[in-house]
Amino acid sequence: MVEPFRVVIAGAGLMGAWHARYARQCGASICGVLDRDPAAADRLARQFAGARSFTELGRALKDCRPRVVHVCTPMESHAPLAAAALDAGAHVLVEKPLAETAAISRDLLSQATKSGSLLSPVHQFLFQQGFINACAAVPRLGRILHLEATFCSAGGDRATAASLDEIAGEILSHPLALIERLVLGALDQMQWQTHRTQPGEWRVAGATRALTASVLVSLQGRPTECSFRILTDGGVIDLDLFHGFGTIDAAPVSKSAKIGRPFRVSAKRMQRAGSNLTRRLITREFAYPGLRRLISEFYKAARSGASAPIGSGEIIAVAVARDHLIECFSNGVKTVS
């Protein structure tokens, strides 16, 4: 029988709670919960037999000696917590973005390599079944022409105007990760145009010599939406990232196909939505589809000595592109290459 990983959860908020639940489903033993608020740490720790609560990571690392630390805290604390956990010999899974800048991300990845530990950001959309199916389908459909991401989030409902752009910048990691996974090296080749109409309302358009991409991040657009579209010369894939499923329309060009498209697409979407909901209920994947699979693959890699499920090249490509775009938005610049 495989011994359960001893795991510490840093951050007892919403994401920390879901990390802890899915970590336990993946066979981990939650030995510690860390939070600046001792009451919050206590509340989450009480849900797991034998778990202790802490307000300092150093004490948690010393007393629990975890194999894995999940960092689910505000972005500014990601780097110091991850560095301390790596110093203690733990593998580290960090909520997105990995760190505030690409330079800090590089330093952390270098530290992980030297310590022989795994380090990965939580880009859970890459591990949704819908996106995995899309990656397998693209070679059959043909050449990718355009990628389109829409993220209308409720995350800014209670945020001040000053923090709306910070939230948008954190969300930006997700569409960039999807683009890079689909077309390796695309982010490095992109010429970008950016538009910011007000805090938290970001529009990005990108182009290489082979494809175009667009990203909408809105903290006020309603209803909430998290979608990704892959347009190829042989069909289109529409992904519902909130729920973790996708549909493919590769009907041939004809008058009947054009007339029937609304009905064909709606029927496929209804069928996929129903089967996806059934699967998630059976497997107890009640929120954040893709997160549990990422945690499971991260644990498997840690046990076997394999590489992390998200490679360092992908991580840095996303971080560098994010840095460029945030600088562009901050300075009011319309284009960046």
Q: Does residue 7 contact residue 277 with C-beta atoms inside 8 Å?
A: no
Sequential pLDDT tens for the chain (337 residues): 567 889 999 999 999 999 999 999 999 999 999 999 999 999 999 999 999 999 999 999 999 999 999 999 999 999 999 999 999 999 999 999 999 999 999 999 999 999 999 999 999 999 999 999 999 999 999 999 999 999 999 888 778 877 999 999 999 999 999 999 999 999 999 999 999 999 999 999 999 999 999 999 999 999 999 999 999 999 999 999 999 999 999 988 899 999 999 999 999 999 999 999 999 999 999 999 999 999 999 999 999 999 999 999 999 999 999 999 999 988 775 554 4
DSSP 8-class letter at 183: S
Amino acid found at 45: A
Cis geometry, peptide bond prior to residue 223 (ω within 30 degrees of 0): yes
Residue type, 67: R
What is the predicted pLDDT for the residue at 196? 93
Class (C level, CATH) for 126-288+320-331: alpha beta
Q: How many CB atoms lie within 10 A of CB 49?
A: 9
Structural contact between residues 113 and 107, judged by C-beta atoms closer than 8 angstroms: no
pLDDT for res 191: 96
Contact 70, 90 (CB under 8 A): no
pLDDT of 334 reads: 58
CB 225 within 8 A of CB 150: yes
Res 333: pLDDT: 59
| Cis ω before 74 (30° cut-off from 0) | no
**Cβ within 8 Å of residue 208, ≥6 positions away:** 186, 189, 190, 191
d(CA 263, CA 249): 12
- Predicted pLDDT at 2: 64
Q: In terms of CATH architecture, what is 6-122? A: 3-Layer(aba) Sandwich (3.40)
Do 318 and 176 touch, CB atoms closer than 8 A? Answer: yes
Question: CB–CB of 96/123 below 8 Å?
Answer: yes
Q: Where are the domains of the chain?
A: 6-122, 126-288+320-331
